């Protein structure tokens, strides 16, 4: 195998790298009652915490939702698993451990807001949370389009079919295959098979190339949604992880806006590399063509709002807390764009004035 940048080498001999630390060494942070309450809400300030604190929050969520009890997890194994997860996120500008935490915290918030405990099984909840935690493991910072066009090792391995998402899944189960990190060790093999399949389905659903297909499938079910229908529930879970994955704009402006800079930084790194390697460049990643407002407006109007409004049909309680902030964010960026456009217009007229002089 060519030198593989990912932590886990999928060579034929099947040797696996073990995480560097085999003892959970993050200090036991006791979360304040204030933090515990805030953790359930989309307004939670995800920038305020260091890695150890985020690990403690994730650990708390697993205990609070009753997942530790339900799956008979060893609490020490849960700590080790979370540490192994954190170590396998890279320090990309956007696709990093803090993004993993954001998506997981939003999932936890949606479980509470939508009262999913009453509608779904504890197994479903474990699947939702675990898929959220694992969904971008070992992301290299360059998207599927780059992988495929550059014919990277991942694209070759996965035959151009969602190379990144397949890799995130593989790394997730590589970590779970280590006995000291296997939070599902006490689950019977048949149940584990089902959990594994469901987690894979959810992580693969985060490929935005499948956005239209997945949302359309949910739209067909939402008006006569049946929580006893396995296919309906699977489709809902796919839409929930999608919502959480791209939910930054649901958060307050001061929390959401820095993420846009992080994403653009990652996009620009990719487009610069594509230019230097003579590969096609997507206009939305091109530093010469993109501004923060243009990057966000279309995404909020045509991707985020339609998806969240569809979920709102099933859970009307999200309108005020999740959908309204999206509409406000859209308005905020449209105002910024008007200011940008006015500035550009002013520059143009100034330049014309200079030329005519």
CATH code where residue 69 lies? 1.10.1300.10
296 is in an annotated binding site: yes
Q: Give the pLDDT of residue 7.
A: 44
> CA-CA distance, 166 to 178, in Å (whole number)?
19
What is the CB neighbour count within 10 angstroms for residue 171? Answer: 23
Q: Give the pLDDT of residue 14.
A: 38
The answer to whether residue 62 sits within a structural domain is yes
pLDDT digits (tens, 9 = 90+) for 222-238: 999 999 999 999 999 99
What is the CB neighbour count within 10 angstroms for residue 188? Answer: 8
115 is in an annotated binding site: no
Q: 184-198, 283-297, 299-313: lowest mean pLDDT where?
A: 283-297
The answer to whether residue 312 sits within a structural domain is no
Tokens of 7: 């932590």
The answer to whether residue 130 sits within a structural domain is yes
99 is in an annotated binding site: yes
Q: How many domains would you assign to the chain?
A: 1
Percent of the chain with pLDDT over 90: 87
In terms of residue numbers, what domain contains 123? Answer: 34-260
One of 95, 139, 167, 168 is an active-site residue; which one? 95
Confidence tier at 128 by pLDDT (50, 70, 90): very high
Q: Residue 122 is inside which H or E element, if any? A: helix 122-134
135 is in an annotated binding site: yes
The answer to whether residue 145 sits within a structural domain is yes
Catalytic (active site) residue 95:
yes
Mean predicted confidence (pLDDT) in 184-204:
98
Q: 10-19, 137-146, 168-177, 197-206: lowest mean pLDDT where?
A: 10-19
The answer to whether residue 295 sits within a structural domain is no
Confidence tier at 350 by pLDDT (50, 70, 90): confident
Confidence tier at 353 by pLDDT (50, 70, 90): low
Q: Is the pTM of this model over 0.75?
A: yes
The answer to whether residue 188 sits within a structural domain is yes
pLDDT mean across residues, the chain: 92
The answer to whether residue 178 sits within a structural domain is yes
Tokens of 201: 């389905």
Q: Give the pLDDT of residue 168.
A: 98
DSSP string, 243-275: HHHT-GGGS-HHHHHHHHHHHHHHHHHHHHHHH
The answer to whether residue 321 sits within a structural domain is no
pLDDT digits (tens, 9 = 90+) for 261-272: 999 999 999 999
Mean predicted confidence (pLDDT) in 115-130:
98
95 is in an annotated binding site: yes
> CA-CA distance, 219 to 323, in Å (whole number)?
17
232 is in an annotated binding site: no
Answer left, alpha or beta for residue 267, where phi above 0 means left and psi between -120 and 50 means alpha: alpha
């Amino acid at each position: 195998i060519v030198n593989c940048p990912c932590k886990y080498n999928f060579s034929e001999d099947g040797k696996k790298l073990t995480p560097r630390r085999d003892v959970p060494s993050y200090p036991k942070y006791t979360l304040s009652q204030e933090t515990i309450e805030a953790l359930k809400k989309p307004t939670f300030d995800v920038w305020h915490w260091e890695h150890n604190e985020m690990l403690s929050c994730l650990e708390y969520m697993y205990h609070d939702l009753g997942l530790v009890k339900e799956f008979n997890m060893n609490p020490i194994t849960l700590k080790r698993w979370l540490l192994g997860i954190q170590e396998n996120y890279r320090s990309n500008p956007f696709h990093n451990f803090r993004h993993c935490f954001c998506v997981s915290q939003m999932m936890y918030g949606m479980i509470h807001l939508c009262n999913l405990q009453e509608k779904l099984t504890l197994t479903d909840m474990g699947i939702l949370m675990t898929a959220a935690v694992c969904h971008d493991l070992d992301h290299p910072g360059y998207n599927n389009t780059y992988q495929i066009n550059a014919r990277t090792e991942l694209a070759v391995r996965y035959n151009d079919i969602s190379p990144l998402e397949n890799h995130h899944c593989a790394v997730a189960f590589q970590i779970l295959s280590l006995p000291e990190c296997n939070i599902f060790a006490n689950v019977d093999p048949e149940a584990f098979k089902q959990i594994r399949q469901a987690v894979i389905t959810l992580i693969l659903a985060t490929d935005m190339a499948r956005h239209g297909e997945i949302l359309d499938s949910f739209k067909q079910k939402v008006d006569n949604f049946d929580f006893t229908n396995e296919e309906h529930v699977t489709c809902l879970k796919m839409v929930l992880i999608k919502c959480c994955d791209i939910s930054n704009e649901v958060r307050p402006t001061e929390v959401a806006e820095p993420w846009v800079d992080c994403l653009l930084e990652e996009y620009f790194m990719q487009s610069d590399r594509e230019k230097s390697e003579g590969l096609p460049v997507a206009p939305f990643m091109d530093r010469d063509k993109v501004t923060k407002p243009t990057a966000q407006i279309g995404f909020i109007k045509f991707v985020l709002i339609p998806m969240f409004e569809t979920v709102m049909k099933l859970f009307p309680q999200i309108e005020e807390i999740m959908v309204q902030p999206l509409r406000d964010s859209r308005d905020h960026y449209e105002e910024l764009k008007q200011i940008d456009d006015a500035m550009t217009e002013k520059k143009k007229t100034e330049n014309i004035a200079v030329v005519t002089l």
